[in-house]
Amino acid sequence: MGTNFSLDWIDYLVMVIYFLFVLGIGWALKRYMKDANAFLEAGRSMPAWVAGLAFISTNLGALEVMGMTGSGAKYGMLTTHFYWIGAIPAMVFLAMFMMPFYYGSKARSVPEYLKLRYDEKTRGLNAILFAIMTILASGISMYALAILMEKVLGWNFHISLILSAAIVLAYTYLGGLSSAIYNEVLQFFIIVIGLLPIVILSLKDLGGWSGLQHQLAPIVSNIPGHHYAPDTWTTTWKHTGTATANPLGVAWYGIFAGLGFVLSFGYWCTNFLIVQRAMSAKSSTAARNTPLIGAIPKMFIPFLIIVPGIAALVLLNKQGSGFSLPEISPGHYNYDYTIIALLKQYLPAGVLGLGITALLASFMSGMAGNVSAFNTVWTYDIYQSYIRPVTGNKEADEKHYLFVGRMATIFGVIVSIAAAYLASLFGNIMDFLQTIFSMINAPLFAVIFLGMFWKRTTGHAAFTGLLAGFLVALLHHGLTFPEGADTLVKGGWIYHLHSYPVEMAQNFWTAIFAFSTSALLTVGLSLVTRQKKSDGDLKGLVYSLTPKVKDKEVAWYQRSSTLAIVVLTIGVILTVLFW
Amino acid sequence: MGIDIKFPIGLMFFILGLILTIFGLFTNSDAGLYHRSLGININLWSGTGMLVFGSLMLWLAWRSRKTKSK
């Protein structure tokens, strides 16, 4: 990358105005933060559209934007599997079948749902793993952003790390979950508007979608060591007949089962970071509509971040385009830099500041999401359960837990900063830890799904299933490795039993093994252990024991079922268009 | 809770839009600046787009405030 890349006064002006608004929103909410409920649950008062955009925005963190643009260059339109098959069915399922129980049970977090449905130990296990995972994720994305800003803009690593963390801390400390959510909506719009110019300019530069297809064909078919069809990068399902015909290295059934079922349901339906946004909605109908409203922009985000990534691959191979990416080793590019290299390629002073602000906004929406989920789980599921239970004096309790929530916010940010520094020193170990902790999602989905839809499922079975699923995932990761992996971080740290063509395939199978083990064990053990909860205890927590939700009181076009049909229809149309 | 988020969103994009539009108008003849963006005055386009979006949000915020106070 060239070094003649600096920001102008106008770029800094745009950035400063954004910072002022972000902090201003936190400041304006400060006077409403009177108790723990307001601070940690946003008082359950959010309109569906606000919660829905926050739902998508918190998922659109810096690692997502950087990573998915890079994946656009690496895998082309196949990356959309993470947005369409890998998100939409799970989001619709969450809305239609799971939100009534999460919201209706009055649980304040996903671990608390586990406590109500099963028992204390299942909640404890999930709460502790989730708290660690959340802080790790926050630290790693902070590190990724700071290193990008240092390498590209020459900003001091320490200053950008501390400053961005301080801004997130300020607005989440002041306004709690409400502030995180409102800012996520603002951040959503700035990410879209800030990145839109590179989509338009890169497509215009390369002759539109058809020009892109045309120029990709020779590049793709000449990738050494593979025999990819010329349209592999611009189609989604067409070349998934065999695993070797596409760069993901996974065939259609693997994508369908691994990504479309286990990974996506594990992530979207059980991750408290995501579910918390829907739980903050003002009514049961709004809570169900939250994931559905979020699903609509989610389906179009590929055009914002994947398509420019594909354009970057053409630019990389085009003589005289002036576009370059740093190389890890000769011929192997570091695709994490794709997004910022595109900003540099096309944006003049002014909109450039807006584009950099969009990256900062994506970082903040991700980190604030982590911090606001962490402080809730810490306060309710760890502190209130094991350290200082409620005393009975409601007013004093609320005050006390508000204080604890605030302290947890500060603590979460400090530990995130520490995690970011650990990532800068021991990057591989942090990657490894993140891989390990991401393995809790698949078994967690098995346990929550069985809990919601089978009243026989018992606490002992759920706990064992959760733990065993996690251990099997670990074992699978230790016994298999992706081909060409040079570090033990990628797997095979116990023994080299099996190798996968690419890391993606290994991840899919890890999740499938973990989910299956957890589901089978939970079902088996439920049949031989005694159900300690009566039908009365499980009312509102299990499908068959809960009165059906009727959303007849709202107009037909506001009903969840109507929205779900709209979402699925758009999903099908997009899939067919880019087949 | 408390605030209508449409108002700060509208105001922020209105201000940013205004700044970029003015900057775009002043730099309209600066071919060197817009060489990167294929000769397109992207600041002017982006700026006006944001002005429109910001105004729309402000109008929506103003409208929902009026219906609430009734």
pLDDT at A1: 44
Residue of B nearest to A19 (CA): B12
In chain B, what is the straight-line distance between the N-terminal and C-terminal CA atoms, in Å? 19
- Taking contacts as CB-CB distances below 8 angstroms, the residues of chain A near B33 are 348-349
CA distance A52 to A289: 7
Tell me, letter by letter, the H, E, C secondary structure of A236-282. Answer: CCCCCCCHHHCCCCCCHHHHHHHHHHHHHHHHHHHCHHHHHHHHCEC
* Residue found under tokens 């919601």: A452
DSSP A46: B
Asked whether the beta carbons of A368 and A29 are under 8 A apart, the reply is: no
**A465 has pLDDT over 90:** yes
Chain A, 331 to 360: residues with Cβ < 8 Å from chain B are: 345-351, 354
Whether residue A348 and residue B42 make contact (CB cut-off 8 A), yes or no, is yes
Inter-residue contact A113 to A448 (CB < 8 Å): yes
**How high is the pLDDT of residue A2?**
44
Does A346 contact B2 at a Cβ distance shorter than 8 Å?
no
Element (H, E) at A332: strand A332-333
Region of A42 please: left (phi>0), alpha (psi -120 to 50) or beta. left
C-alpha separations of A536 from A116, A462, A521, A529, A546 in Å = 12, 20, 26, 19, 10
Residues of B in Cβ contact (< 8 Å) with A23: none
Could you give the percent of chain A with pLDDT greater than 70? 97
User: CA–CA separation, A118 vs A1, rounded Å?
Assistant: 54
User: In 3-state terms, chain A is what percent helix, strand and coil (to 5)?
Assistant: 75, 0, 20
Picking from A31, A43, A197, the nearest residue to B46 by CB comes out as A197
Which residue did the predictor score with more confidence, A329 or A459? A459
Confidence of residue A548 (pLDDT cuts 50, 70, 90): confident
pLDDT tens for residues A516-538? 999 999 999 999 888 888 888 88
State how far the Cα of A442 lies from the Cα of A513, in Å rounded to an integer. 9
Q: Among residues A189, A168, A191, A192, which one has the least CA distance to residue A180?
A: A168
Asked if the model's pLDDT at residue A505 lies above 70, the reply is: yes
Type of residue at A100? P
pLDDT of amino acid A133:
87
The beta-carbon neighbor of B37 closest among A42, A46, A348 is A348
What is the bridge-based pairing of β-strands A327-329 and A332-333?
Answer: antiparallel
Nearest-angstrom CA–CA distance, A171 and A396:
25
Q: Which residue of A has its CA nearest to B54?
A: A189
Whole-number Å distance between alpha carbons of A138 and A370: 6
Joined tokens for residue A100: 């009534």
φ, ψ at A381 (rounded to 5°): -95, -20
Residue of chain B whose alpha carbon sits nearest to that of A183: B5
Quick check: B38 and A13 CB within 8 A? Answer: no
- Give the model's pLDDT for residue A531: 84
Please indicate whether, in this complex, the C-beta atoms of A197 and B34 are within 8 angstroms of each other: no
Find, in chain A, the residue whose alpha carbon is nearest to that of B30: A348
Question: Using 50, 70 and 90 to split pLDDT, how confident is the model at A171?
Answer: very high
Helix (H) or strand (E) holding A481: strand A480-482
pLDDT for residue A285 is more than 60: yes
- Are A43 and B1 an interchain contact pair (Cβ–Cβ within 8 Å)? yes
Q: In angstroms, rounded to a whole number, what is the distance separating the alpha carbons of residues A37 and A60?
A: 26
- C-alpha–C-alpha distance, residues A406 and A398, integer Å: 12
**A/B interface, count of CB pairs below 8 Å:** 95
- CB of A488 within 8 Å of any CB in chain B? no
DSSP state of A327: E
Read off the pLDDT of each residue in A395-399 and give the average, rounded to a whole number.
85
Q: What's the pLDDT at A422?
A: 86
The nearest CA of chain B is from the CA of A389 a distance in Å of: 28
Angle, helices A157-205/A284-316, rounded to nearest 10 degrees: 70
Beta carbons of A574 and A297 less than 8 angstroms apart: no
Interface of B with A (CB under 8 A): 1-3, 5, 8-9, 11-13, 15-16, 19-20, 23-24, 27, 33-38, 40, 42-43, 46-47, 49-50, 53
Contacting A residues, span 27-86, partner chain B, CB-CB under 8 Å: 28-29, 31-32, 38, 42-43, 45-46, 50
The label of the residue with tokens 């296990």 reads A125
> What does the alpha-carbon distance between residue A579 and residue A232 come to, in Å, rounded to a whole number?
11
| DSSP 3-state of B3 | coil
DSSP single-letter state for residue A320: T
Contact indicator for A373, A30 with CB cutoff of 8 Å: no
Q: Does A13 touch chain B (CB under 8 A)?
A: yes
Per CB-CB distance under 8 Å, the chain B contacts of A14 are 16, 19-20
